[in-house]
Amino acid sequence: MKIALLPTGRTEWHGLPGALKNLFPAEPAHEFYVVPTAAEIRSNPDGFPYPGFTTTPLRAAHETSPPEAAEELVGRAAQEALGDRGVSPADLVIVLDDLELANSGQADRVCRVFCAAVQGHLAKLGAGGRSTRMQKIFRERVSFHLLVPMIEAIFFADPGALKTSGVPEAMPVDFAPTCDPEDFQTSDTMYLAETAAACPCWSGLPRHRQKRLRPKWLGDVDRARHPKGYLQWLCRDGEASNCTRYNESSDGGKALAGLDWAAVMRRPAEQMQYIRAFVADLEDALGQAPITGAVAGQQARDTSRFTPRTRPVLRNL
Amino acid sequence: MLTTMPGYTIQAQNFRVLDHLEWSPGGVCLLCGPNGSGKSTVLDALWFLRTLFERGHESALAAVGGQYFRKLDAPEDEPVEFTLTVGDIVWKLRFPMSIAGLRGSFGEELYRGGELVLRAGMFDEGWYLGTERHARDEVRCCARVLWDRGESEWMQPLANLLSGIRVYKSYWLNQVQRQEQTSARDSYLERSGRNLWSVLANWKASPRHYHDQFEWVMSAAREAFPELIATVEFDRGLPYIYAPGATEAEQGLPPSRAAEGLLTGLLHLTAVAGAKPGSILAFDEMENQLHPHAIRSLLSAMRRSAGERDLTIVLTTHSPVVLNSFRDEPEQVYVLDRTCKTVPTPMTELHTEDWLAQAKLGTLYERLAFAAPRIDGTEP
């Protein structure tokens, strides 16, 4: 089968197709591919070609007037599901956005906003055949899933992934195995107390460059709950202009591609609910259990394909 | 009454970066492609043919630059070829070119209804009208010589088409900004745009003779630049631009004080207003210096005028704003893609209309979904 993945970050863009190929091995292999194209990625050297829509808190108003970033994702998903001249449509299209800390606790709203973006897109196509056809395509072949709070959380379920990301062997990692990576929390006192003094190179940069290169943990965020911030700090390097050796594309992508899915899926049944919903959706679409066995444990109600819905808009919403 | 031009096709081979051009534009249409793909070259092909017919091959070569006229990787023995088909008239031209320029006399053939009317071979100093041999004219091409005899009424569609081609690539804004005495003779905008004020002054002075073209330009300019212009007045032959609400004579601004975008807009509009019915107008990167509102407004005026007067307006662009305005007519967008042997390719041949309807054309262009440079996908 042909599966289009629409992530909103470079780590997923680089690593997710490989990770899912490992999770769903098949002969012939399923075609997992990412959108945007490699050319578009290269053409946007200073950022991902489009932003996610959960970086700022979503409000009730967004449920009727979704942010442009959500509309962009919907439009791209529609094109992959439709196919084009000489390009066959994807059998399954999965949009993946982070449930950033700014929207922590309101996954239901994030999902409603995405549904509103789909409805808005259909409305723009006008009444008639094209819109009706797209409505059916969205319902049958497009899903929206959440990475909670972001892709780096999953690395804390797999010590091998942390190592591949660049965390030094001897570096103690303060993340209890009993904790849910999707409800990430560290109590690493050194990390929580760290200041910009750990980043002499970054501190020496002119102010206009500091914002772009500031490590996540040094920003105005809930540091204890920020897995990417913690990962950057675990890989900190005061001589690097962004104060870390961790590179989302190369290190993060490699760690994700080589993820130990068994380690992830054997977390306690109530953990990793959003990842379980994602993998279960794939299992259903591909008609094949993942290499780790049929998905067990709890799935997030918001994004599970198997949550009963009276008027579904997508496969899982 | 509006008479519709017969359909026409322009073809070119080995011309500059173009392997093979084949195009039948109509209405307001858009040419897009990455830098260096040949958008401006297509416009040059149009201008070359017009100048050749109007002023001979030396002027034509000079108008588009005779050096590097031939595609660099074209086989040396292959000439640069042009074919213009208008209804049942076919005009073929073959230019034996080296990098430095023309190597000898160019070849020319003219057909009417499939029948050869005149023929001049490459490197031949004479030409044949039927079986009659004639010496070449020093300046004029053979088709022009035949047309000037006044005995070939059937050539009218070809002559009309060629004389109606206007190509605007880059205006000489510094000259437009100068406040110079207007001339009473100019009735249409030159390629450089430097006679803008003379044209507008003459149109304003004789509104009936010039079909209210001045007022059409002002009305469209007011839409595009609502805070900048109400009208242009001429005092002792010198132009002054009046903004809305300006009531005193001294509130008129000389062109040197006008926004460059406003001048560009006036130039575009004057070019369109002055075009005869059935003409082909081309604007290279019309969006330069213009605010998105002005772009959309000017495009709307162009569309209205093209529809009313059977104009073909060719626009080249890199602007997502311009592209977005073609959302409802993707069939009017043509792509110059180096992977295609024959260009330009209609957008609707590259992508399905369903696929295109899912996003704005400008957004797709920005995403490199069409008309994109070839980019290696590896991250730097």
Question: Which value, to the nearest 10 degrees, does the dihedral of the CA atoms of residues B271, B272, B278, B282 take?
Answer: 70
By CA distance, what is A10's nearest residue in B?
Answer: B379
The answer to whether the Cβ–Cβ distance between A39 and B375 falls below 8 Å is yes
User: Do B355 and A82 count as a contact with CB atoms less than 8 A apart?
Assistant: yes
Indicate which of B353, B358, B360, B376 best probes the interface with A, i.e. most A CBs within 10 Å of its own CB.
B358
Selecting from B358, B374, B375 the residue whose C-beta is nearest the C-beta of A78 gives B358
pLDDT score of B376 more than 80: no
Which chain B residue has its CA at the smallest distance from A72's CA?
A: B359
pLDDT exceeds cutoff 90 at B99: no
Task: Please answer whether residues A8 and A97 qualify as being in contact, where contact means their C-beta atoms are separated by less than 8 angstroms.
Answer: yes
Reply yes or no on whether the pLDDT at A169 is more than 60. Answer: yes
Q: What would the mean pLDDT of B186-208 be, rounded to a whole number?
A: 95
Q: List pLDDT tens digits, range B166-187.
A: 999 999 999 999 978 888 789 9
Which of A41, A76, A134 lies closest to B379 in CB terms? A41
Verify whether the Cβ–Cβ distance B358 to A49 is below 8 Å: no
CB contact under 8 A, B355 and A84: yes
In this predicted model, which residue has the larger pLDDT, B180 or B32? Answer: B32
Work out the average pLDDT over B204-218. Answer: 96
pLDDT-derived band at B1, boundaries 50, 70, 90:
very low
- When pLDDT is averaged across residues A95-108 and rounded to a whole number, the result is 95
- Chain A residues with CB under 8 Å of a chain B CB are 36-43, 45, 49, 72, 75-76, 78-79, 82-85, 121, 125, 130, 133-134, 249
- Coil, helix or strand at residue A6: strand
Average of pLDDT values for B19-39? 95
- Mean pLDDT for the stretch of residues B280-290: 97
Element at A160 (helix H, strand E): helix A159-165
Which of B305, B226, B298 has its CA nearest to residue B265? Answer: B298
In this predicted model, what pLDDT tens digit does every residue of A123-132 receive, in sequence order?
998 877 889 9
What pLDDT, on the 0 to 100 scale, is given for residue B5?
67
pLDDT level of residue B249 (50, 70, 90 thresholds): confident
Chain B positions in Cβ-Cβ contact with residue A41 (cut-off 8 Å): 377, 379
Residue-level pLDDT at B377: 64
Q: Is A142 strand, coil or helix?
A: strand
Query: Residue A46's pLDDT is what?
Result: 84
Q: How far apart are CA A126 and CA A124, in angstroms?
A: 5
Give contacts of B375 with chain A, Cβ < 8 Å.
Answer: 38-39, 42-43
- Residue B40 CA to residue B132 CA, distance in Å, equals 39
* pLDDT value of position A268: 95
> CA B187 to CA B210: how far, in whole Å?
8
Weakest mean pLDDT among A99-103, A180-184, B79-83, B182-186: B182-186
Q: Return the residue of A nearest to B348 by Cα.
A: A85
Q: Residue by residue, what is the 3-state secondary structure of chain B?
A: CCCCCCCEEEEEEEECCEEEEEECCCCEEEEECCCCCCHHHHHHHHHHHHHHHHHCHHHHHHHHCCCCCECCCCCCCCCEEEEEEECCEEEEEEECECCCCECCCCEEEEEECCEEEEEECCCCCEEEECCEEEECCCCCCHHHHHHHCCCCHHHHHHHHHHHCEEEECCCCHHHHCCCCCCCCCCCCCCCCCCCHHHHHHHHHHCCCCCCCHHHHHHHHHHHHCCCCCCEEEEECCEEEEECCCCCCHHHCECHHHCCHHHHHHHHHHHHHHCCCCCCEEEECCCCCCCCHHHHHHHHHHHHHHHHHHCCEEEEEECCHHHHHCCCCCHHHEEECCCCCCEECEEHHHHCCHHHHCCCCHHHHHHCCCCCCCCCCCCCC
Of B358, B377, B378, the CB nearest to A82: B358
Angle, helices A273-286/A10-23, rounded to nearest 10 degrees? 60
Edge-to-edge strands of the sheet including B342-343? Answer: B132-135, B126-129, B115-120, B107-112, B89-95, B80-86, B8-15, B18-23, B342-343
Nearest Cβ partner for B359 among A36, A40, A75 = A75
Tokens at A196, concatenated: 């910009």
Kindly state the average pLDDT of the residues A300-307: 97
pLDDT at B25 over 50: yes
pLDDT at A303 over 70: yes
B379 touches A at CB < 8 Å: yes
**A163–chain B nearest CA distance, Å:** 23
How far A90 CA lies from chain B's nearest CA (Å)? Answer: 13
pLDDT of B76 reads 85
> According to the model, what pLDDT value does residue B4 have?
61
How do strand B126-129 and strand B115-120 relate by DSSP bridges? Answer: antiparallel
Cβ-based neighbours of A270, under 8 Å, separated by 6 or more: A180, A297, A298
Quote the minimal CA–CA distance from B359 to chain A in Å. Answer: 6
The residues, ordered by sequence, that sit 6+ positions from B182 with a Cβ below 8 Å of its Cβ are B197, B198, B201, B202, B234, B237, B238, B239
User: What is the pTM assigned to this prediction?
Assistant: 0.89
Query: Does A38 contact B350 at a Cβ distance shorter than 8 Å?
Result: no
The proportion of chain A whose per-residue pLDDT surpasses 90, expressed as a percent, equals 91
pLDDT at A45: 86
- Are residues B335 and B371 in contact, defined by beta-carbon separation less than 8 angstroms? yes
Q: What is the ipTM of this complex?
A: 0.84
CB B95 within 8 A of CB B87: no
Residues B315-334, mean pLDDT to the nearest whole number: 95
- CA nearest neighbour of A275 among A300, A302, A307: A300
